[in-house]
Each structure stands twice: as C-alpha cells, then as structure tokens.
Amino acid sequence: MEIEQVKKRIEELKALINRYNYEYYVLDQPTVSDYEYDQLMKELIELETKYPEFQTEDSPTRRVGGMVLDQFEKVVHRTPMLSLSNAFSEGDIRQFDQRVREVIPHPVYVCELKIDGLACSLEYEQGILKRAATRGDGMVGEDITHNILTIKSVPLKLRDPVTIDVRGEVFMPKAAFEQLNREREANHLSLFANPRNAAAGSVRQLDSKIAAERKLDMFLYQLPDALSLGIKTHSAALDYLDDLGFKTNPHRRVCHNVEDVLDYIREWTERKHDLPYEIDGLVIKVDDLEAQALLGVTTKSPKWAIAYKFPAEEVTTVLKDIVFNVGRTGAITPLAILEPVQIMGTTVQRATLHNEDFIRHRDIRIGGKVIIRKAGYIIPEVVGPVKDEQYDTLPTFTMITHCPACGSRLVRNEGEADHYCTNRNCPAQMVEALIHFASRPAMNIEGLGEKICALLFDRGLVKKLSDLYRLTGEDLSSLPKFKEKSIHNLLIAIEKSKENSLERLLFGLGIRYVGEKASLLLAKHFQSLDSLAQATYDDLIRIPEIGDVIAQSVIHYFRLEENRALIQELKDLGVNMEYRGEKTIEAESFSGKTFVLTGTLSAFKRDEAKAFIERLGGKVTSSVSKNTDVVIAGAEAGSKLSRAQALGIEIWDEETFLQRLEPFRSVGKRK
C-alpha cells in the first residue's frame, strides 16, 4: 500500500470508528456488530503502529489507555467552576423562585438530573480535545486528559472546528460499578462504597489503563461561553452540544413556572431508581442566559441555579445477631445479621459493622432495632440503634476474645482498631490466603475461585500454597461436579501460573502491606525473590515509595522459617522466582536522575521520551523544583525552562537528549 493510500485509509478508519462510537455510546443505536467494530479498530492500530507519523490527536486508538503520569499537573479554569447552593424541600424551591422573580418577573427554568459523579471541564481547540481537568477548588483543578481520553462517549473531534470549553459530569453506570465491585471482591480488594467514589477514583488514576477498564461515561451539562456564540438560552446551548457530538442527558425539561418544576421533582423522586446510573438530586437553572448574567453569582455559587437534593433513604429493622469473619491476615470483621428489609429496591440481610470501636461508640445491641441505609445508595451500613422502651434491657456488645475459626486468642495491637487471630495455621486464614494467591492480580489461576479453594482445603488436598502445584487429575476427580474437561483446564491454569513474573508471586504470597504496586516496585528493583529475601532495611527504604512499614513487614516475612520453606518448595516445584517484565538498564547520564520534559520534541512523543528515560534508570516528573536534575527543552519551551534557568538546573536541548540516548536506542523501541 502506497503512503498516500495508507494515509487515506487511516482517515477512513478514524471517521468510521468515531461514527460507530457515537452511535453506540451516545445514541445507544449501534449499526455494526462488535466483531466488525473490532476488526476496524485492529486495522487502525496496525496501520498507526507501522506508520506512527499518521497518528493524530483525534484518533480513537488514543482511548485504549496506557499513559502513566507521576503526578497531576494543575489547571487554572478559564471560567470558575462554581458549586451550587442546595435545596432540600419544596419550600426551598419556592424561596429560590421568589428570589429569581424579584429580578426576572417571568422566569423560564430548565430542570436536569443531577448525575452523581465528578465534575470536569473539557477544552477544545479547533474542534480537537486538548485538555480535561477536574473541578478542584473551582478555580484550579487537575489535568486528567489521559483518563478522559478513554471515555468513548467523549468526542475527540467535534463536528465543527470550534474552540470552546464545556462542562460535564463523569460517572460510572450501575452495571459497570457492580461488575467492578464483584471483581474486587473476588480478588479480596476493598470495595468502592458507591459509583461516585469509583468514578472519582478512576479519573484520578495516574495510569490510564485503569480508567480504560472502568467503563466510565460522561454527560455534558454546560457551555460557559454560550452567549459569545450567539446562543441565548441554556436549553439551546444543550441542543448545540448535541449537534457538536456530545452526550447530554435526555431527561431535561423546560418548565415555565415553579409548579412545573415541583412536578418534575416529584416525578424523578419516584423514578430515580429506574435509571441505569445514580442521581443524587435535580438541578434547576434559569434558562435565559442574559437573565443569568443579570442575576449574577455569589463568591461560591450562581444565583440563577440551585440543586435539589433527595432525602437519604433509611429503614429500620432488627439486628438478629453479630457474626465474625476472619480475613487472610487474621483481621476479624464483625457483620450484622439483619431481619431482611427492603431498601432502594433490594433486600438487605447483612451489613458490615467494621470493628469493635464502631459498635461500642454507637452502642449497637443484638436484638434491638437499628437504622439501615445504603451508603452512597449502594453499600448497606448500620447508622445506629433505635433507642425504644426495650433498648436498655438488651445486653451491651462484648467483643469475642477467641478466633471463631480456630479458637486461638485474639490480639489487638496498640493504635489499631482491628483484632487479629495470630495462629498461622488458622483454617479460615489459610483458605483466604489460597483464594488470594489464585486471584487475578496475583497468580491469576483461572477456574480456581472461592468455592473450589474452600473445597480443596476442606478435603485436605491443599493445606498450604505449594500443595496447589502437587494436585493431580486423580485428586480433582474426587471433587463433586469435576469432569474431565474442567480437571484438564484447571491443571493447565495451575501449570501456566508457574511462568508468571515475580511481582504476581510477591503479591500472591500475601506479605502484609505489600499490595500490587509495592510488589511491582520490589520485583523491578531486586529482579529475583532470592535478592529480595536478602535485602536489608536500608536496601528497601532506598526505593521510592517503599517506606518504613512495608520495609519492616518484608523483613519480618523472610525471617520466618515457615515462609522461607514455602518459597523453597515453590521453587522446587518450578514456580518462577524472577522478574520477567520490562528491564531497566542503568545508564550514567540517566540513572538515579530526575528529569522534566517541556516543549515539543520532534523525534518522538512525550510518553515515548518518558519511557526511554525510565528504562535507563531515570525518573520523569511534571514540575521543576530544586530536586530536578535535568530539564529537556523542546521547541516552544515555556515557564518550566525559565524556572530551570533561574535555579541553575542542567538543560538539554533535543539534540543533546538524542546524543545521550543513542547508545541505548534499541532499549526504548515499542514491542
């Protein structure tokens, strides 16, 4: 294929994929199958990989994710992102209407659903998405462009080449939230309390791959500078956003008086649970934009808009019992067993009680009535007791003193809220450890879920982690519902897990305080489990982001003879003990130094330059400080260059950078 044909085909593919994205994610009216869409995307990725000079900012391949930042840069909003004042009753809404009518005698309102997510600002230049930022304090937010690019309902290129700022709400649909929490629960990770927290946590990830996996969405709700475009009303501005290709909420309504507004509030108070996303209220705005300007703003909020907040839904039920779960670290978590009760469309029978202090401070008693609500509309929580006439006759809570699984005495360390079972042979801990070891972020043994782990332990087939690698087909054939195919698949998955890179094994071992990120840092630094096992405290804390608590925990783990014996068994059984990820090559010009990139580089993109530096042992940060060693200045370098000069920091132009890289260029090539 000739170069011009390649360029033409890439443009055709981009146009088709962007159109299909719009039909699927904005209109919810797909016109092609998933297979056809995937084939087009595959072709585009292949062409752009082969001809990177033709990859543009509006390419849908930018949505895949993979950019990793070391920190968020600050963004000053061109127009402040003010918060709204709240209304909690019909009376509050009538008072708002009265205040508006003192200035605007016959106001028309636009009512919208208040999406429970994270407010963001998007900046477009000549129709191309350039930057996205969080609301922050209203004046200054954080640059989250790398994560917003992964949201497929957000257009990378508008239908008209306009330069505008728009505002909207990033949210996580209910189905995506429930799936995310199911996955986290299966992997023994902490659950998100509600979709808003999940969306906010996803948007503020430094690694955009995480955001790309979270199935975020976005509704646009404001065009701040609409009057300058000749648009006279807020409702017309929303229609204009639709025309540009944005996704706006279809349930908005123009209301000509306060009674229509109140009808809208009553309707959606009843219908809110029918939506596929969470709303925590409604927003009422004066429609006429000149009237908005006339009404003005306070220091915190506009006078032409108000947010009506739904009242919290709480129900009362009976606390039948308190039971205790044992985690893989031995932490004991009390759970409330409730008389089944309906709340927000679901039946609730269990709720967490966190720890002893939580129960005692609220004086929660078995047999009494308790108030239950869904935290953030999703997670059931006990708010507190109902102190009725029989309340004082009920026994106060007494924390158990022995492990419910093995009978060992519990301990509570000074400064900690949790009680722990310290018996390393506690059956509950061992099952939880096995589940964790097999989970997706750890050894990723497909088909080895919670029930099978518990069954293997109960049957005596697996008493410690190394026993997994001794399982035979005959062992598994003794288990109920295990047929030849499922036995074969599980044994293949177990065998395959032996080849995992070191960081997965490290995380799977369940060393206290060593999560996924710390496991990767340790694996990259020490390259082998033997090297890590011999590391001193000083060796460990020299690693950025490895502090005192993790260092002490790692040293304690390897001091225990049973842990060293387990690792030797795993090694003898063929489990890989080496880091198999991307290697870091130590280069004198880069190793141990902190770099800042500024301006435009012609030889490669910013993230590619960052990858080169990190693979050669350097670190890239986004701001210049006294800790910066080198600033690499490309074309049109700005304030970062000036600050570096003022601080006397070493500065490389692009030519110098390329010269220093030359001996190692093969290290940074894409795979």
Are 218 and 120 in contact by the 8 Å Cβ rule? The answer is yes
Instruction: Give phi and psi for 47, each to the nearest 5.
Output: -65, -45
Contact yes or no for 277/171 (Cβ under 8 A): yes
Distances (CA, A) of 122 to 84, 323, 575: 19, 48, 48
Active site includes 496? no
Alpha helices in 516-635 (DSSP H): 516-526, 529-533, 537-541, 548-559, 561-572, 606-615
Largest CA distance in the chain: 87
Tell me phi and psi for residue 248, to 5 degrees.
-115, 160
DSSP 632: E
- Residue 562 neighbours by CB under 8 Å, 6+ apart: 424
CA dist list (Å): 66 to 13, 15, 70, 298, 444: 21, 23, 13, 41, 21
Classify residue 135 by burial, with Cβ atoms within 10 Å: 0-12, 13-18, 19+.
Answer: buried
Contact 649, 624 (CB under 8 A): yes
Q: Are strands 630-633 and 594-598 parallel, antiparallel or unpaired?
A: parallel
Residue 489 CA to residue 495 CA, distance in Å, equals: 10
SS3 string, 83-123, reads: CCCEECCHHHHHHHHHHHHCCCCCCCEEEEEEECCEEEEEE
Amino acid letter, 519: S
CA 545 to chain centre: 20
H/E element, 281: strand 279-286
> In the chain, what is the straight-line distance between the N-terminal and C-terminal CA atoms, in Å?
23
The whole-angstrom separation of Cα 156 and Cα 60 is: 8
**CA 614 to CA 626: how far, in whole Å?**
20
Q: What is the DSSP string of 65-80?
A: ---B-SSPPEEE-SS-
- Structure tokens, 628: 């910066």
Residues 6 or more apart whose CB falls under 8 angstroms from that of 74 comprise 136, 140, 141, 142, 143
In b/e form, how buried is each residue of 409-437, taking b as 16+ CB within 10 angstroms?
A: ebeeeeeeebbbbebeebbbbbbbbbbbb
Catalytic option among 8, 50, 114, 369: 114
| CA distance linking residue 323 with residue 334, whole number of Å | 6
Q: By three-state DSSP, how is residue 650 classified?
A: strand
Rounded to an integer, what distance in angstroms lies between the CA atom of residue 379 and that of residue 617?
Answer: 43
Instruction: Give the C-alpha separation, 247 to 27, whole Å.
Output: 8
DSSP track, 226-238: GGGGT--BHHHHH
**Distance, CA of 464 to CA of 427 (rounded, Å):** 10
Residue 263 backbone zone (phi > 0: left; psi -120 to 50: alpha; other: beta):
alpha
Residues acting as catalytic residues: 114
